[in-house]
Structure 1
Amino acid sequence: MSLIFNREIHKRYLSLLLSDIVKTFPERVAFKGGTCAALFYNLPRFSFDLDFDLLYMFSLSNISKLKELLSRYGEIKDFYNKKYTLFFLFDYGKGYPKIKIELNKRVWKNNIYKPAWFLGVALSIAEEATMLTNKIVALTERKSPAARDLYDSWYFLKAGYSLSDALIQERTGKSKQEYLKSAASFIKKNYTSRNVLQGLGETLDDKQKIWAKAHLINEAVTEIEKLII
């Protein structure tokens, strides 16, 4: 069965779930990831999912409360509670794309969050350097290359956002310079015009896809190499 995709409907559900989650757990979650970047940092691509850091552990009653919240608007198709991740797969309608909701239990001590407002609701979000640094480290740490990380890292670097030296050291054990050199090499080795749209293409419009296929790899490497002394 082919998926029905209406961007405005999907955005409506993302907004609805986000506002309810942060209202229900105001001190426990911090918003991050692609949808956060699109809403608060003008990331010029669509994002399908919701990602949070857990600032305080969720109890079983918290998990039950979140399940009840999601069930008001649709159906939970999958759920797991692993060592580092709480995961919900939310379905708001037959044939429509599902929304992944991930709550990360492994929160790095050098992550920094800042206050923000969304639809009149106060929340905490990853600040710029935290967002960029976690994106650029994820770029090389995933089991298989994720072009969304490449695109988002390029965007934040191009926008002039800073990296967190302390967070790079904490996550990789390398200095910023060491890590940037390895990241540039990783991109050159693992990305080509044949795979650069995998997992990314559906988040871009046609004009963006043409640009990304032709230029994203070189542009991302160029931005990284500008920071290598």
Structure 2
Amino acid sequence: MTKKGFSQELHKQILIRILVDIFKEFGGKLGFKGGTCAYLFYELPRISLDLDFDLLRPFEKKDVDALRAILAKKGMIRDFKDKRFTIFFLLAYKKDAPNIKVELNKRVWKNNTYKTIWFLGVEMKIADESTVLTNKLIALSDRRMPVARDLFDGYYLLKLGFKLNEKLIMERTGKTLEGYIEYLVPFIERTYNDKNILHGLGEILEEKQKNWIKKELIQEMVQELKKLIRK
């Protein structure tokens, strides 16, 4: 759970320091993705709390140990798991701040695409616009428990004019772009309402944003999705 009143600016700076150190150490082995990638590089108008990566090359025990050492310099590692599909760390850096999840995904979709950028003098590989958007929209219906941030993020990425990766949609869902959108629209309408639309978002958004989300987000998102199959 996000802790109310924490410093978003401090949290952002901690995320950036960890991100830079990770790419200095591991370079092309990782592809940065997810909400924090969208927040830092694609104008997502909300802070994201965690760091998510795809493993693009083999990650050995020495690499896990090196990552552990990087994180240990930033705070206390409260949890670690090396599972079938993920390597997971949970980092606590300050008593009144939310923990940071650092997750490395071993199961990488072959149609994910990445681009190379330079950030604070460090070369990084990040998921490109279409990959970030497409995975966000698929996450809407793919998670065991739907989370409102996928709806919020997907809407803003669509409004930025990002395109969907049709091959990635087919790979992950077995559906065409049109088929997935036709499935997703009623899923959103029956899953989200004004009582659950702020779950997981309320502590990290301004009051003006929260009011708009409760009143408008579901309808606006459905309209944006329907535009994709009218073209």
Q: Normalised by the shorter chain, which TM-score bucket?
A: over 0.9
User: How many aligned positions are there?
Assistant: 228
Within 5 A, what are the aligned runs for 1:93-112? 93-112=94-113
Secondary structure of the 2:228 match is coil
Which aligned runs of 4 or more in structure 1 are off by greater than 2 angstroms?
none
Partner of 2:190: 189
Post-superposition Cα deviations, 1:19-53, rounded to whole Å, max 9, x if no partner, equal 00011100111111111101111011111111111
Q: Does the aligned pair in 2 maintain the 1:76–1:88 contact within 8 Å? A: yes
Percent identity of paired positions between Structure 1 and Structure 2: 52
Partner of 1:90: 91
Secondary structure of the 1:79 match is strand
Within 5 A, what are the aligned runs for 1:1-229? 5-229=6-230
Secondary structure of the 1:86 match is strand
Secondary structure of the 1:18 match is helix
Q: Report the AA paired with residue 79 of structure 2.
A: D
CA distance in structure 2 between the aligned counterparts of 1:203 and 1:110, rounded to whole angstroms: 32
Q: Does the aligned pair in 2 maintain the 1:135–1:152 contact within 8 Å? A: yes
Post-superposition Cα deviations, 1:105-136, rounded to whole Å, max 9, x if no partner, equal 11100000001121111100100000000000
**TM-score scaled by length of structure 1:** 0.97
Shift, 1:159, TM fit:
1.4
Q: Does the aligned pair in 1 maintain the 2:12–2:47 contact within 8 Å? A: no
Deviates more, 1:198-207 or 1:45-54: 198-207
Q: Does the aligned pair in 2 maintain the 1:4–1:97 contact within 8 Å? A: no
Shift, 1:4, TM fit:
5.6
Structure 2 unaligned regions, length at least 5: none
**TM-score scaled by length of structure 2:** 0.96
CA distance in structure 1 between the aligned counterparts of 2:77 and 2:23, rounded to whole angstroms: 19
Q: Does the aligned pair in 1 maintain the 2:170–2:177 contact within 8 Å? A: yes
